[in-house]
């Protein structure tokens, strides 16, 4: 594993995200917990003026993506050295799933040459340290449901990302939304 060179926390419309990088590229991306308040993490760690150009680009693109802009994050410089070969194949394929579209775990497994390997794909998705950029939220169960998401907020975060992309319809408001005001779903 390559040494982490920097870490930066930054505000987005869904809360505070965090990005880490090595000499090879982006090595971690942390989404905010969709069930927590927006300001849960403190901004800081690296001076924004000292960010490598590719990290500044990643911040711009991820903010745009989280605002619903059709962005392509697949060309960002990534450090996937932590991942075993199978996971890298899965991540390479998942990076090609277009904004606002989804695939099933089984479809991904077939595409990477592992028919019947849906559970292995699920494990690879759970090991993804760069969610959103490696868009594991775009991979669903065979029944179209969202079973598990290892990023903060779990399935609620996955649902929110897919709603932002227009891949699924927003959940209808509940009685509590009217009583408590808008939620961060």
Would you please indicate which residues are annotated as catalytic (active-site) residues?
136
The angle formed by the CA atoms of residues 182, 143 and 127, to the nearest 5 degrees, is: 75
Distance CA 59, CA 88 (A): 23
For residue 58, give every residue at least 6 positions away whose Cβ sits within 8 Å of its Cβ, in sequence order, or none.
19, 26, 73, 76, 133
Cα 4 versus chain centre, distance: 20
Spatial contact of 86 and 7, defined as CB atoms under 8 Å apart = no
Q: DSSP characters for 80-131?
A: -TTS-HHHHHHHHHHTTSPTT--EEHHHHHHHTT-TT-HHHHHHHHHT-SST
Cα 173 versus chain centre, distance: 25
């Amino acid at each position: 594993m390559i040494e982490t060179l920097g870490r930066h926390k930054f505000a987005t419309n869904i809360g505070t995200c965090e990005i880490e990088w090595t000499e090879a590229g982006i090595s971690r991306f942390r989404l905010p917990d969709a069930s927590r308040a927006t300001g849960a993490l403190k901004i800081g760690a690296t001076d924004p003026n000292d960010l490598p150009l590719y990290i500044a680009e990643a911040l711009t693109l991820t903010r745009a993506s989280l605002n619903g802009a059709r962005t392509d994050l697949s060309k960002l410089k990534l450090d996937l050295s932590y991942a075993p070969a199978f996971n890298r194949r899965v991540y390479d394929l998942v990076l090609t799933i277009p904004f606002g579209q989804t695939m099933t775990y089984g479809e991904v497994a077939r595409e990477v040459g592992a028919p019947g390997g849906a559970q292995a794909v699920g494990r690879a998705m759970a090991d993804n340290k760069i969610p959103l950029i490696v868009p594991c939220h775009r991979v669903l169960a065979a029944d179209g449901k969202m079973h598990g998401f290892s990023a903060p907020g779990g399935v609620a975060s996955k649902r929110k990302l897919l709603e932002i992309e227009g891949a699924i319809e927003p959940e209808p408001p509940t009685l509590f939304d009217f009583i408590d005001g808008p939620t961060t779903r």
